[in-house]
Chain A
Amino acid sequence: MADVTTHAADFVLEIQGAGKRFGVRRALDGLDLSLRPGEVFALLGPNGAGKTTTVNLILGFLKADAGTVRVCGIDAGADPVGARRHVAYIPEQVALYPGLSGVENLRYFTTLAGLHLGKATARTLLAEAGLAETAHARPAGSYSKGMRQKVGIAVALARRARLLLLDEPTSGLDPSAAADFSTTVRAAATRGTAILMATHDLYRVREMASRVGVLSRGRIVEEIDPRTLDHVGLERLYIERLAGSAA
């Protein structure tokens, strides 16, 4: 659980009273969320709860109608590029240029971030992210979802981002790949990266997260310490909170 007395400058991510409407639909309604370095926050919620809107606000793709979203003290709405300097994002479906190899994709995306990686560095980063060496030079069109995600993680590693956003990171992964992914994420958190993960996978949440928030109707209705529950208990609580929120 976050320590509310911690000074704001210690937070990698601070969302205060964020609101966002799309026409008559209220996607976020006074969302409060803050993350410190090394924390792994799992954002649980049904489809339409506001998870993607939250991610879009953090990345600066959307501007909040109310409240503020700050990444490392930078207002993501006012300076989205500045905020994104500290954020790495791995979408649910990591899409890569299919004609380029893993190494080339990694070099391309890091170039967008202002980095100039040599081939050897790119290979090292891909290996760190868990991509088998035999796959480094293969066209990314032949990669599985897990392999593509590893390239996405390598981009995040290369950029030394202070905040890692994961959108449904384990959906569609086989158990072995999901376990690999958990290991990689935990390692990143150990290095001090704050991680915000939007997911439905309660088992992996229990495994990876240090904090869990249940998002419903655009606000966090409950924050849970996952260490106090097993994943069955977590699932029961999640369903109860959503049912309570819907009522």
Chain B
Amino acid sequence: MKTVRFALLLGAELRLVLRERLTWAVLAALVVSLCLAAWTGAGRVAMERAALAEAAADTDRVVRDARAAHERYAKPSPIKVNYWQDPTDAFGYMTYFMAAYAVKPPTPLAVFAAGQSDVQPAIMRASFGFSTVFDDTAYEPGSTARLRLGPFDLAFVLVYLVPLVVIALAGTRLSSEHDSGILRMIASQPVGPRRVASAKFGAVALIAIVATLGGTALALVVSGGLGAVDGWEDALALLAAALSAYVAFWVAACALVASLWRGGVAALAILVLAWACVTVALPSTLGLAVEALAPTPSRIAAIDASRRAQVRFYTGEEGARITSAWLTGKVLEVSSRPGLADAPEIKRLARDAFYDEALASDRDAAQDHARAAAAWSRRLAILSPATVLARALEVAAGTDAERHSAFLAAGAAYRRDLRAFFEPRILAQALDPAPVCQGCPARLDFAAYDAVPAFVLSVPREAAEHQALVALGCLMAGTLLLAALAYRRLSGWPA
């Protein structure tokens, strides 16, 4: 008798699985879920892109309007304008005209986890019009693990629902045959349990991987959520490999449970419990661990510190003293222009500098916490297959906490750059106010609208590739471990 040819066996198992109605029902549900999720993500990405385009248009419009106003006000006219209406006044322009944005553009793979952007703004206006006492930490994520239980986006379907699909397809392989008695027929053939299990679970793995990758590709095409992936092909390929490994991990888990020979119902119960542990309980526990390892500094204390700084500045002569001290450090010939310290632009610059200094420790604590929480989240993510894949998806999508923390820091730095750009110009105008012409409404001569620093965009492709590689390695290791355990247990047929 010929030796069993594995390919033949695999083909027979593939035919067997594909003949089952349940298989097609489960795969149809998966594809529908993926399409809905991709549609959610594509909608969110489209909204983000529209907001960014609107911001860019807003910046252009403001510069265009300022230039037009500059030209209009540089001719003699009886009308008078105030500084908050005058773009020729550097302080007026900075405070009431300028539209400068810190922007976190979606990555080409943003559709995979765009839902998390709901709590992570991708655009922040760098504004000096009103009191922005401290960096915007309102959006700072506490536990990134908690964020992963987000909306119905592709990451949600791939991380949480795909394992259930695999369990539905593979969870009762061998176990249901054991229950129905078919296993006795199988076992009486001249073939060992390892070969049969390899063929059965291999067939399911092939089907599930093809369905997951094919369904995701179809969903991305149908939703139009995937933009041009120029330069991101490697990240996309690594992500696909990590997804395949994730599917294989759950198939290996099914094989291990089948090797216990506990019957179909018990196998399903064990697998659903394992799913709940791996995808919900463990990530939540890791989230708690992150909170414990990187405690969130008190927001109330930070708000109270800002309140105290405001009270101090506006109480009695303290504001004047602070302004005078700030001005002394900036301009040597303070005395050359009496009343300079009372100018509104000087008081504003001095106040903002005072706030920066007074709240530096709170801001640093918030940034330190964000960094520590992100670092612990990154380290602990490898402990759960669900979190390691979720992290790979969110990094590829650009919605991860580290990128957001970096974006918040870059936004704060951008604001400092803008102030550094305007501060000497405002001081120069304050010390030596030079109108463009006599009888003109234009009060001063600021016109460097095009020289205002622009925010430098960051789309970290290398991080996406690295994280996908980490996920692939971890998931492959987990899969091999489970497969080895199952292989060891499947040394003989049950009597």
A positions within 8 Å CB-CB of B:
56, 59-62, 80-82, 84-85, 87-89, 91, 93-97, 99-100, 104, 107-109, 111-116, 152, 155, 159, 165
Contact = CB atoms under 8 A, between A and B. Distances in A.
B182 interface: yes
A55 to B, nearest CB: 9
Nearest to A59: B188
Q: Which label, helix, strand, loop or mixed, suits the secondary structure of the B interface?
A: loop
A95 B493 contact: no
Contacts of B4: 111-114
16 contacts: A59-B188, A61-B494, A80-B192, A85-B1, A87-B188, A91-B181, A95-B182, A108-B16, A109-B185, A112-B4, A112-B189, A113-B4, A113-B189, A115-B2, A152-B185, A165-B188
Interface stretch (B5-13, B53-61, B75-83, B104-112): B5-13
Interface range on chain B (Cβ under 8 Å from partner)? 20 to 34
A161 to B, nearest CB: 9
Nearest to B180: A95
A97 B495 contact: no
Contact of A80 (B9, B12, B180, B492): B492
Contacts of A107: 12
Nearest to B19: A99
Interface of B: 1-5, 8-9, 12, 15-16, 19-21, 180-182, 184-192, 196, 492-495
A114 B185 contact: no
A78 to B, nearest CB: 12
A169 B39 CA distance: 58
Interface centre among B3, B20, B185, B493 (most CB of A within 10 A): B185
B16 A97 contact: yes
B191 A81 contact: yes
A114 B190 contact: yes
Contacts of B186: 109, 112
Given A61-B492, A115-B2, A85 B9 contact: no
A91 B177 CA distance: 14
A72 B185 CA distance: 21
Given A61-B493, A111-B9, A114-B5, A100 B188 contact: no
A134 to B, nearest CB: 21
Given A87-B188, A107-B12, A112-B4, 14 more contacts: A61-B492, A81-B190, A81-B192, A89-B184, A94-B181, A95-B180, A95-B182, A96-B182, A99-B21, A104-B19, A111-B8, A113-B189, A114-B3, A114-B191
Contacts of A109: 185-186, 189
